Amino acid sequence: MNYGNFSGIIKSIKRGRGRSWLTLCSVAVGVFAVVVISGIGSIGSERISSTMMTMGINSAMVQASDEDSTVALTREDVAAFGRLQGVNKAMPLMAAMSRSVILENCVNCYAWGVDEDAREIISIEAVYGRLIDNHDVENRSCVCVIDEDIARQTYGRGNIVGKKIKLLLNGSYYEFEVVGVAKSGITGLQSMMAGIIPDFAYIPYSTMQDITGKSSFDKIALLLDSKSADENLTETLTEQVNGIKKCEGSLVINNFQSQKGQLTDILSVVTTVLSLIAGISLIVSGITVMTTMLVSVGERKREIGIKKSIGAKSGDIMWEFLSESVLLTALGSCLGIILALLCCFIGCAALSVPFTAPVGAAALSFAFSVFMGAVFGVYPAGKAAGMKPIDALRS
């Protein structure tokens, strides 16, 4: 296409600027929807991966299966499981859904009974104060470590070490002293899924045993060898722990690696389905482009007749209108992509999430929308090219 033809196409678009803007906006909306949905999916997948890594992707939980909740996990089991090949360390865990009361504010939380190995196995880091240690466990102390979110929701600040907190356990409230404020690997997911994933409070497992009246443990956390932490190891360990307990299928092991795969697979499927649904709008915008070009052909019959009468070929006329159709969709696609990237960037900044541009989705949306512009522009361009000069001049 030479410069003169391109200049003529721009003039034609400007001539019907109101109609052209509506067409651009229809294409932009479709591309915007596809890119934003794909961006949310890709950013979410990366966030899940990074969060799982900080949680300790090589951690696993041993617990009784739903079918057999009578199996008791003991201190001897902790020692035996910790000696298994592929396991670096084992830690007893107690767990209960709870509610914390601070300054008369109630916050739903999940209470964990842990020991000092929680730092490594479930990846907890003290922001203020300290974590639970073996001295707390041995003395069955009424101390706790809470998520930083709980502190900020109640006191409006992170450091509340030394304050008192009441936790609802076994149907009654018990007072604990806050010895530490922590963040865990799951903190990122908690902020993204507020109200779905609860905040955590950590107390000595021996204290929770006293309160609940249990001598056994709810779970045993395993720190796996990072070089061999895969599904095959999980299956092998499941057989071994059931062999130690002399029970078949009563104990199961939940590995964060498999959970990461399940979460990313689900997110990928949802993103794909939503992107396909949003992609329908690109087809609709293609129909809008065809309608716009048909109107343009009707308005420019005399122009077409003049061009043909001075020597323009049917192919030249068809190429001009087809190029105009493609240019409209290309400009609309660029507008939609820019707005979508800007929206994703602002959303990531607001949530303090690293921004990753969905380049693949943007390129695919651009290519598909331009293709649709070419497809739906063929009929109007063919209609313009097929006009006879004398009929066009009479109109």
- Is 253 domain-assigned? no
Tokens matching residue 183: 């963040």
pLDDT at 130: 93
141 shares its domain with 209: yes
Residue 248 lies in a domain: no
Reported as a single tens digit per residue, the pLDDT across 130-183 is 999 999 999 999 999 998 888 888 888 889 999 999 999 988 999 999 999 987
Which token pair is 358? 């969905």
pLDDT at 391: 64
State the residue range of the domain holding 168: 58-228
Res. 47 pLDDT band, cuts 50 70 90:
low
Domain final residue, candidates 228, 251, 270:
228
For residue 296, the model assigns a pLDDT of 78
| Statement to judge: residues 83 and 165 lie in one domain | yes
Cβ contacts of 366 within 8 Å, gap of 6 or more: 31, 330, 333, 334, 337
In a domain, 317, yes or no: yes
pLDDT of residue 144: 95
- On whether both 282 and 222 belong to a single domain, the answer is no
| Element at 240 (helix H, strand E) | helix 231-244
Given 228, 254, 279, which residue is the final one in a domain? 228
Domain count, the chain: 2
Torsion-angle region of residue 387: left (phi > 0), alpha (psi -120 to 50) or beta?
A: beta
Residue 323 banded pLDDT, cuts 50, 70, 90: confident
Q: Are residues 137 and 117 in the same domain?
A: yes
Kindly state whether residue 250 falls inside one of the protein's structural domains: no
Residues 110 and 165 reside in one and the same domain: yes
At residue 16, the 3 state secondary structure works out as coil
Q: Give the predicted TM-score (pTM) of the model.
A: 0.57
- Asked, for residue 134, whether it belongs to a domain, the answer is yes
To the nearest whole percent, how much of the chain has pLDDT over 70? 82
Lowest-confidence region among 33-47, 319-333, 369-383: 33-47
- Same structural domain for residues 33 and 172? no
Residues 40 and 78 in one domain: no
- 31 and 65 in a single domain? The answer is no
- In which element (H, E) is residue 117 found? none
- Let me know if residue 247 belongs to a domain: no
Residue 238 lies in a domain: no
Residues 105 and 133 reside in one and the same domain: yes
Residue 99 inside a domain? The answer is yes
- Indicate whether 110 pLDDT > 50: yes
Looking at the structure, tell me whether residues 166 and 291 fall in a common domain: no
Q: Which region among 89-93, 220-224, 265-269, 298-302 has the lowest average model confidence (pLDDT)?
A: 265-269
Are 138 and 199 within one domain? yes
- Residue ending a domain, choose from 228, 248, 279: 228
Q: Are residues 170 and 298 in the same domain?
A: no
Pairing type for strands 143-147 and 251-255 reads unpaired
